[in-house]
Structure formats: C-alpha cells, structure tokens
Chain A
C-alpha cells in the first residue's frame, strides 16, 4: 500500500492461513524465508522456524484429504494378499463373498447392482468408488473401461499422481528436498517434526521417509506420545503392513482414547477382510464414545457392504437422530426408500439435502427420478435440465440422459427414449445399461440383428448384470438358437439366482433338449 501501515509479515501469513488462503500464506512465508535465511543471527532463528513451519502447514492443507476416507485397493494388493487365512471365507464373515447370497431388501430386479453384486449405494467415498470387485478373477475379468480401471497397486494410485503434479507446478522444485533432510535433527524438535511429518505424508506422499521420521520421533518421545503411534500406524497401513499398523493403533489406544484411532483400526480390519472384528471394535468405540456419529456411520457402512440393508438403515437413522444434517445418512436412507417402492419418502429426503445446500448434478438427477416415480410431473424435466447443466463431465451427463430415457419410456415416448439412450452412449461409450435398453427398444421395432449386437455388447461390458444375459436368452429362444439361449440363461441365473423367468426358461430348454 505504501502508506507504512503494513502488517507484520508473519502475522499476515498467519492471518492468510486462518482464512484458508493457503497460496497467499505460502508466498508470504517464502518472502520471510528469503529475507532472513536460516542460521544468520541467533535472534531471527525463531522467526524463520515459525515461517518454515507455517509454510509446510499451508502446503499440506492445500492437498490435505482426510486419511480415514482415503483407500484404494490396487490389483497387486488383491493378488498378493498374504493376510487371508483361508481361501474361502465362511459365509457372513467376509466382505468379498457376496455371490450366492440372499438379498436382504430389494432384489436386483428392482435395484441395480455393482459389479461385486452389491446393491448400489446412496453415497460414494474414495474407498467405495471403484466398486471393489470381490475376487482377483473378477477384477481381471472386468473390462477396464475408463470408469472401472484400477491402479496396479494402491501406491501407484491417485495419491502419487497428485504428488507428481504438485511437483510440476512448483517451478523452483519442491519446497523441501527430502533426500537432503537430516531427519534425526528434526525428530528431536517436536514442534517442527509434526508439521514436517504431515508435509511428507500428505504433500510429498513419501511414506518411507515419513515412517523413518515417525519412528525417530516416537523414540524421542519415549514411546509415550499417542500421536506419533497413530502416524506410524498410518504409514504401515499405506505400506500394506496391516498387522504392524494394528499393533501401533492398539498401543496408541492405551495412551489415549480417540475416535480417530477406532476409525483407523476399523479401516485396517476392513482391508484385512474381517468385517466382524471391525464391528466388534466399533462396538467398543461406541461404549467409549456413545452415539458418536462417525463410528455409527462406519458401522452402517459395514452392514451395507455386507448386504444387510435393514441394519444399515437402522444405524443411519441413529446417525440422523444425533446429526440431522448428515449427508451420507440422508442419501443412503433416501435411496433405500426409493428402491423399496417409496419414492415419495425418498423425495422428502432428497429435498432435505437440497435445503441444506447440496447443489450438484447427482442430487438433481435423483430429485427428477423421485418426482417421476412419485407422480409429481411438474418438477421432472426442470430437475433433469438442472442436472444436465451441472454435470461436471461426460460420464455424469451420460447417467442423467440414461435416467431421462427411463422417464421417456414411462410416458410412452419411445422416440425420445431412443434418443436419450443414444445420447447416453455418445457421452459414455461403455454404458452397458443403455446398450441393453436400446436393444429392448430395437426389439420392439423387430430389428433383431441390431438388438442381438447391442445385447452382446452390454453383456461383454457388464457381465455382472442379469438383464442383458436374460434378454439375449429370450431373443435367441425366439429365433430358434436354443444353444446360445441356454448358455445366456445360465449366465443370467448365476448373476441373479432368484430370477424366476430365467429359471423357467432354463427348465423349458432342458425339457426341449431332452425330447430331442
């Protein structure tokens, strides 16, 4: 400003930090550090240290993502899983064994399923995003479309890509050169070590160095500081050493009861595919912290993953009693109501989300669908229009067009439906459901060859869905290709064991074959 009324630089940086203007904060700290390089005069040492620490915190905050949420299992982890004791887990004790189970709640005839055979959920987190194929075989068989592609290992996943990107964007190279850092020097200064650790762990994603620092620091703290133990556990978890991680978290719990520690430990058990142990642990957590929302949510998630929708929604309701604006609970209960034939109630839940200020493509799409099935016709098209304008990428737009196609089918405008499904495919070429529905529409026009081709594409893209298999079976049956019909019907039955029409078709074909 040039009036001489400038703020003290460090105070200004601190103020930027508190207002979450991390870019400005980091620049302000850099100016302080440039002006007074380290080790010049004894008096300025504290100032530079403070500026340095503040800058590390600002840089960390820029890329900080809650570690409890981050989880992405890569192919290598599944293939080289050394933690499983038995090849085939006993029923009801594993998250992976989902085939050949009874559906509690809506069947796949009503509620779409993910590739692992679970009903789709109302809420996604980074860990549940990829739909987690249950077995290695499934993971390899799943076509690697743009949406379902998995990283080779979790260490090569999203976090590393972000790390390299942040390096590229800093023209002068990284702020701290980790290879030249004397970790032992920092480990004895707790006030610097903690910020440095978070910087290494979250910003640089260098878990090995972070682990070294944490090990030195916990030694310096005489193994009495729970914080460092939790950090050690986080590092071990990232490195895939789950038993070690568990040990650290348990040891941390003896020093200090924290909700976070319970959640981290639950994450370890889920990764080791021991949902029942995790549930037991969370029960302990709930004894210690009664009605804690995040623990209740974690319990509900496990029930949902194990296909126990009834208990899941009970826990979500419990969450809503404590925190009436929990987005995850509202979304999950809403979608549950929608798929159990109560779209009016689902509409109320989604409207509540809208009132709370959630404003995105997904919400408007869900509102539109709920309005349609609850027969509130005035709101449908405006909701879908809003959803389309809010779509962030073509995959989201594809989903909206797909649902709009259903509305068109519902009002009997088959030309519009046809166009909607075509637009879905124009936006996302791997949309198996749209291929299937297009095939059904083609069959109405008696275009058998087109329908066949579309169904084959759909079945190849999504082998976990029963619809394309069943449609292919009934189509082949109609045109007399009984062998293909039988094969497809069997596939349909494995995808959805309780499907009556598939069973009936198989029976008819068997009788037919027997008479030949």
Chain B
C-alpha cells in the first residue's frame, strides 16, 4: 500500500547528536526477600511469646486482686 507509506514517514534526525546522559540519581533501597524461619527458631519464638503472655496474665490478675479487695 504505497499511499499509506506516503502518509507516515519515518523520522531520522539528520542534525544534532542523539545521546542519553547518565545522570546520577538518588538510589532506593532494594526490596527485601524475607528469610524463612527454621523450625527451632519458630519454636523458640512461640515459647517466648507464650511465656510472656502467661506472665502478663499473672501480673494482670495480681494487679486486679488488690483493687477488688479494696
């Protein structure tokens, strides 16, 4: 289709330089893949959480008791 070709012609700049300047830009920190936890680490953390919870509950019940007595 010669007509169409005549309508759209490719553009090639004949003058001037075509260049891309590498400007230093600010860098983002990279995305982080999260490391998976080993079974023992998961167990340790679970034990620690449970222990903290039980202690917190004990403290709560202790702090509630005097207030109910008073």
* Chain A residues within CB distance 8 Å of chain B: 63, 65-66, 69-70, 109-112, 120-126, 129, 158, 161-162, 165-166, 168-169, 327-328, 331, 334-335, 338-339, 353, 358, 360-363, 365-366, 369, 392, 396, 399, 402-403, 406, 409, 432-434, 436-437, 439-440, 443, 465, 467, 470-471, 474-475, 501, 504-505
In the complex formed, the residue of A with least CB distance to B25 is A474
User: Provided the pairs A63-B47, A129-B41, A166-B51 are in contact, do residues A436 and B36 lie with their beta carbons within 8 angstroms?
Assistant: no
Determine whether B31 belongs to the interface, using a CB cutoff of 8 Å to chain A. yes
User: Provided the pairs A124-B41, A125-B41 are in contact, do residues A363 and B36 lie with their beta carbons within 8 angstroms?
Assistant: yes
Q: Note all chain A residues with C-beta closer than 8 A to B14.
A: none
Determine whether B20 belongs to the interface, using a CB cutoff of 8 Å to chain A. no
Q: How far is the CA of A74 from the CA of B60 in the complex (A)?
A: 32
Determine whether B40 belongs to the interface, using a CB cutoff of 8 Å to chain A. yes
- Contact residues, B17-51 vs A (CB, 8 A): 24, 26-38, 40-41, 43-45, 47-48, 51
Whether A66 pairs with B26 at a CB distance below 8 angstroms is: no
In the complex formed, the residue of A with least CB distance to B38 is A125
Q: Note all chain A residues with C-beta closer than 8 A to B27.
A: 109, 440, 467, 470-471
In the complex formed, the residue of B with least CB distance to A477 is B24
Q: How far is the CA of A50 from the CA of B70 in the complex (A)?
A: 48
In the complex formed, the residue of B with least CB distance to A451 is B26
Whether B52 pairs with A165 at a CB distance below 8 angstroms is: yes
Q: Note all chain A residues with C-beta closer than 8 A to B31.
A: 369, 402-403, 406
Q: How far is the CA of A207 from the CA of B32 in the complex (A)?
A: 39
Contact of A122 among B33, B40, B45, B47 (CB under 8 A): B33
Whether A161 pairs with B40 at a CB distance below 8 angstroms is: no
The 24 sampled A-B contact pairs (Cβ below 8 Å) are A69-B38, A122-B36, A123-B36, A123-B38, A124-B36, A125-B41, A126-B40, A129-B41, A158-B48, A161-B51, A162-B47, A165-B55, A168-B58, A331-B36, A362-B37, A366-B34, A392-B45, A399-B34, A402-B31, A433-B32, A437-B29, A470-B27, A471-B26, A504-B24
Q: What band does the interface of chain B fall in when counting residues whose beta carbon is under 8 Å from A?
A: 20 to 34
User: Provided the pairs A166-B51, A406-B31, A471-B27 are in contact, do residues A353 and B36 lie with their beta carbons within 8 angstroms?
Assistant: yes
Q: How far is the CA of A111 from the CA of B43 in the complex (A)?
A: 29
Q: How far is the CA of A69 from the CA of B30 in the complex (A)?
A: 30
Determine whether B54 belongs to the interface, using a CB cutoff of 8 Å to chain A. yes
Whether A358 pairs with B58 at a CB distance below 8 angstroms is: no
Whether A168 pairs with B36 at a CB distance below 8 angstroms is: no
Contact of B38 among A328, A399, A432, A467 (CB under 8 A): A328
Whether B33 pairs with A338 at a CB distance below 8 angstroms is: yes
User: Provided the pairs A162-B47, A409-B28, A467-B27 are in contact, do residues A125 and B34 lie with their beta carbons within 8 angstroms?
Assistant: no
Q: How far is the CA of A406 from the CA of B38 in the complex (A)?
A: 27
Whether B48 pairs with A161 at a CB distance below 8 angstroms is: yes
Ranked 6 nearest A-B pairs via Cβ? A165-B51, A433-B29, A362-B34, A69-B40, A406-B31, A124-B35
In the complex formed, the residue of A with least CB distance to B31 is A406
Q: Note all chain B residues with C-beta closer than 8 A to A362.
A: 34-37
In the complex formed, the residue of A with least CB distance to B29 is A433
Q: How far is the CA of A212 from the CA of B25 in the complex (A)?
A: 63
User: Provided the pairs A125-B41, A126-B40 are in contact, do residues A120 and B28 lie with their beta carbons within 8 angstroms?
Assistant: no
Q: How far is the CA of A168 from the CA of B54 in the complex (A)?
A: 9
Whether B43 pairs with A168 at a CB distance below 8 angstroms is: no
In the complex formed, the residue of A with least CB distance to B42 is A360
Q: Note all chain B residues with C-beta closer than 8 A to A361.
A: 34
Q: Note all chain B residues with C-beta closer than 8 A to A161.
A: 48, 51
Contact of A66 among B29, B40, B51, B52 (CB under 8 A): B40
Q: How far is the CA of A129 from the CA of B38 in the complex (A)?
A: 10
Q: Note all chain A residues with C-beta closer than 8 A to B52.
A: 165
Give, as a whole number of angstroms, the nearest-CB distance from A257 to chain B.
24
User: Provided the pairs A122-B33, A362-B34 are in contact, do residues A475 and B54 lie with their beta carbons within 8 angstroms?
Assistant: no
Give, as a whole number of angstroms, the nearest-CB distance from A411 to chain B.
14
Besides A123-B36, A162-B48, A369-B31, 17 more A-B contacts (Cβ < 8 Å) are A65-B44, A70-B44, A109-B30, A124-B35, A124-B37, A125-B38, A126-B38, A162-B51, A165-B48, A327-B38, A360-B37, A366-B33, A402-B31, A409-B28, A433-B29, A439-B26, A504-B24
Give, as a whole number of angstroms, the nearest-CB distance from B4 to chain A.
34
Whether B29 pairs with A112 at a CB distance below 8 angstroms is: yes
In the complex formed, the residue of B with least CB distance to A444 is B26
Q: How far is the CA of A433 from the CA of B48 in the complex (A)?
A: 28
User: Provided the pairs A110-B30, A158-B48, A470-B27 are in contact, do residues A360 and B36 lie with their beta carbons within 8 angstroms?
Assistant: yes
Give, as a whole number of angstroms, the nearest-CB distance from A450 to chain B.
13
Q: How far is the CA of A165 from the CA of B32 in the complex (A)?
A: 34
Q: Note all chain A residues with C-beta closer than 8 A to B29.
A: 112, 432-434, 436-437, 465, 467
